[in-house]
Chains A and B, each alone.
Chain A
C-alpha cells in the first residue's frame, strides 16, 4: 500500500478534500481523486453528483472553498485561471460539442495548436511546414482529412465531437478531461470514439465522464463512481457495478 505522499508524488492530478458549495448546496463534499500519468479513467455518477463541478475546479472555472488541487505535485491549480491551466497542459472537452462553427475544420485545428497565444504572436503568425504537418497528422487521427475545408457548422454531431477532441490533441495536453463524449452518437460512432480515446490515452492521461455503461465497458479501465459530491466507489467496472452502494445510488434507479 502506498503512503499518501508517495501517491501524491507519482500523481499527475491530485485532489484532496475538495469542497465547494453554491448557495448552501454542497456540490463537492471533501472529494479526493488521483490521476496517474498515462492513465485512462472513467467517471460515472448520477446527475448532480459533482462530475462537471469537479472539471470546473480542475480547469479553473470554479474555485474550491477548501481542499488541495495539485498538477504534477507542484502546481496549485486553485491559484490559476482557465488560460493558465490550458497552457499548463490540461485540455477540456465540453458536454455539448463546442467548436468554432464559422471556421473550417482546418482553421479550428490551427487555432487550437499549441503555439504562442499572445496578441502580436497571433497577428503576425504564418503557418509553418511543421504546423501544417501536425494539423494533417491530427486530421488523420480524428479521421477527418476529407472534410478539412468544410465549415464546422456543416459537420454532423459526431464529427463535431471528434473535431473538438482533435482540437484538444492540437493543444498537446498532458491531461485531457472529456465530458460525455458519446452523448447523442450512433452505436458505430460510439465504438469508434472508444478506439480513438484509447489511442489518445497511450500518450497522455485522459479522464472521461460518461453515462453510457456500454461505452465504459468498451474502454475497459478503472472507474470512479461519484455521488453527492464525493467518491462512492473506485475500481474495475465489474467491481464498481456490483457495489451495493453504487447500485442503490446510480445503477439501480
Chain B
C-alpha cells in the first residue's frame, strides 16, 4: 500500500530531478569546502548561501503549486506559512545565543531585555530544544492552514474571494508581528544568530550542511508531492480544479480534499522558511508582506503551474535573474523583471516547463499520426502486392 504510493512517485522525470538536486546538494558544498579559495572551481560561501536561499524559495513554490496548480486554490498568502516556519527556526536560534547576547542575559533574548520583559513569554518555552522547534516548524503553519482552511472550505469560499482572504491573512500577521508586545522582536525580527546544534551559523561547514539539507528537503518534498499527485487522490485533486461540482456529486467531500492539500502545502512552506532563516541570518515581519506571497505565484507561473518541476525551475530562474539584474543594471532591474513577467504571461501562458511538455506532446502526436499514415500506406502496398500475385 505505502510502497505502491511511493513507487508511483518515482516516475522518470522526478527521479532525474531528484538526482540533479542531490548532485548539486553534494557538489556545491564539496567545491566550497575542498577547493582552495583561489581555485577556478571554488564556490564562495556567499554564493552557496545565495543558491541555498533559491532552493528554499523553490520548495515554497512547489508547495504553492500543489494547491494552486493541482487543486485550483490560488493562495496569495503562502508567504505567511513560510514566515511562520522561519520564526520557529529563528526562536530556536535565539535561544541558542544564551548569555552571549549584548545584554548577557542567559534566558532572555536581547530584544526582550531591551523591552523590559521580566520573564520568557509562555510560547517561547521549549524552543531551546531542537526537536521541539523543528516540530513547531511544521505544526504551526499546518495548524494555521487547518483552522483557516476548515472555515474557508466548509463555507465554500472559492476563487478570487479565497485569494483575497489568504492575502488578508498574511497582511494581518504582518501587522501583528510588527508589534513589539507580540514577543517576536517587532520590526527588527530575530537576528544575530550564533549556533545551530552547537555549530557556528557563520562557519563554512555549517553553511554547507544547511545547503545540503535544503537540497535534500526539496527532493523529499518533491517525491511526496509526486506521490500525492500520481495517486487516485491526485486525480481527484485535478478534478476539483477542473469541475468541482462533478467531484461533489460523485460523493467526494471536496472540503476535506482541499483541507488536506492545503495543510500539507503549508507544512512544506514552513520547512522552506526554517531552512531559509539560518542561511540568510534574519527573520523579520517583512516576510509576511503580501507582495512576497504574490511573488511566489509569479515564480510558479513562470516555471509552469500544474507541473512539479516547473515551480522549482521558475523560483531559481526568477530569483537568479533578480540577483543578476540588481547587480548588473541596478537602475533598470525592476523593469527587466516586469518585462520578463509580461513576456512569460503573453508568450508562455503554460510557463516554461508547461510549454516544453506541451511541445513534446504535440510532437509525439504528430509522429504517431505520421506513423499511422505510413503504416496504412505500407499495408496498402502489401495488399496491392498480394493482389498482384
Interface of B is mostly: helix
Q: Which residues of B contact A117 (CB under 8 A)?
A: 250-253
Q: Which residues of B contact A110 (CB under 8 A)?
A: 232, 235
Q: Do A83 and B238 have beta carbons less than 8 Å apart? A: no
Q: Do B260 and A119 have beta carbons less than 8 Å apart? A: yes
Task: Encode contact with B along A152-178: 1 for CB under 8 Å, 0 otherwise.
Answer: 000000000000000100010000000
Query: Count the A residues whose beta carbon is within 8 Å of the partner chain — how many?
Result: 29
Q: Do A98 and B243 have beta carbons less than 8 Å apart? A: yes
Q: State which residues 226-254 of B face A: CB under 8 Å.
A: 228, 231-233, 235-236, 238-239, 242-243, 245-254
Q: Do A126 and B1 have beta carbons less than 8 Å apart? A: yes
B257 is an interface residue with CB less than 8 A from chain A: yes
Q: Do A123 and B5 have beta carbons less than 8 Å apart? A: yes
B4 is an interface residue with CB less than 8 A from chain A: yes
Q: Which residues of A contact B236 (CB under 8 A)?
A: 111, 122
Task: Encode contact with A along B258-273: 1 for CB under 8 Å, 0 otherwise.
Answer: 0010000000000000
Known A-B contacts A98-B245, A119-B257, A119-B260; the reply to A124 vs B251 at CB < 8 A is no
How many Å lie between the Cα of A76 and that of B248 in the bound state?
19
A99 is an interface residue with CB less than 8 A from chain B: yes
Known A-B contacts A83-B252, A111-B232, A124-B5; the reply to A103 vs B238 at CB < 8 A is yes
Most B C-beta atoms less than 10 A away, residue of A100, A118, A167: A100
Most A C-beta atoms less than 10 A away, residue of B228, B231, B247: B247
Contact of A125 among B231, B245, B251, B254 (CB under 8 A): B231
Write the chain B residue with the least CB distance to A98.
Answer: B246
B2 is an interface residue with CB less than 8 A from chain A: yes
B323 is an interface residue with CB less than 8 A from chain A: no
Q: Which residues of B contact A101 (CB under 8 A)?
A: 242-243
Write the chain A residue with the least CB distance to B246.
Answer: A98
How many Å lie between the Cα of A86 and that of B250 in the bound state?
6
B256 is an interface residue with CB less than 8 A from chain A: yes
Q: Which residues of A contact B242 (CB under 8 A)?
A: 100-102
Q: For the complex formed, measure the closest distance between the CB of B60 and the CB atoms of chain A, giving whole angstroms.
A: 23
Q: For the complex formed, measure the closest distance between the CB of B228 and the CB atoms of chain A, giving whole angstroms.
A: 7
Write the chain B residue with the least CB distance to A171.
Answer: B250
Write the chain B residue with the least CB distance to A107.
Answer: B235
Q: Do B250 and A167 have beta carbons less than 8 Å apart? A: yes
How many Å lie between the Cα of A59 and that of B249 in the bound state?
8
How many Å lie between the Cα of A19 and that of B256 in the bound state?
31
Q: Do B249 and A125 have beta carbons less than 8 Å apart? A: no
Q: Which residues of A contact B231 (CB under 8 A)?
A: 122-125
How many Å lie between the Cα of A91 and that of B246 in the bound state?
10
Task: Encode contact with B along A73-89: 1 for CB under 8 Å, 0 otherwise.
Answer: 00000000011001100
Q: Do A171 and B251 have beta carbons less than 8 Å apart? A: yes
Q: Do A99 and B232 have beta carbons less than 8 Å apart? A: no
A112 is an interface residue with CB less than 8 A from chain B: yes
Q: Which residues of B contact A100 (CB under 8 A)?
A: 235, 238-239, 242-243, 246
Q: Which residues of B contact A118 (CB under 8 A)?
A: 256
How many Å lie between the Cα of A243 and that of B186 in the bound state?
78
Q: Do A86 and B248 have beta carbons less than 8 Å apart? A: yes
Q: For the complex formed, measure the closest distance between the CB of B334 and the CB atoms of chain A, giving whole angstroms.
A: 36
Q: Which residues of A contact B248 (CB under 8 A)?
A: 82-83, 86
Q: Which residues of A contact B252 (CB under 8 A)?
A: 83, 117
Q: Do A86 and B249 have beta carbons less than 8 Å apart? A: yes
Q: Do A103 and B250 have beta carbons less than 8 Å apart? A: no
Q: For the complex formed, measure the closest distance between the CB of B337 and the CB atoms of chain A, giving whole angstroms.
A: 31
Q: Which residues of B contact A125 (CB under 8 A)?
A: 231-233
Write the chain A residue with the least CB distance to B252.
Answer: A117
Q: Which residues of B contact A123 (CB under 8 A)?
A: 5, 228, 231-233
Q: Do B249 and A82 have beta carbons less than 8 Å apart? A: yes
Q: State which residues 174-207 of A face B: CB under 8 Å.
A: none
Q: List 17 A-B contacts (CB under 8 A).
A: A83-B253, A86-B248, A86-B249, A86-B250, A91-B249, A92-B249, A98-B243, A99-B246, A102-B242, A103-B238, A103-B239, A114-B251, A123-B233, A124-B1, A124-B4, A124-B5, A167-B250
Q: Which 3 A-B pairs have the closest CB atoms?
A: A86-B251, A122-B233, A125-B232
Given contacts A102-B242, A118-B256, A124-B4, 6 further A-B contacts (CB under 8 A): A82-B245, A86-B249, A94-B245, A117-B253, A119-B257, A122-B231
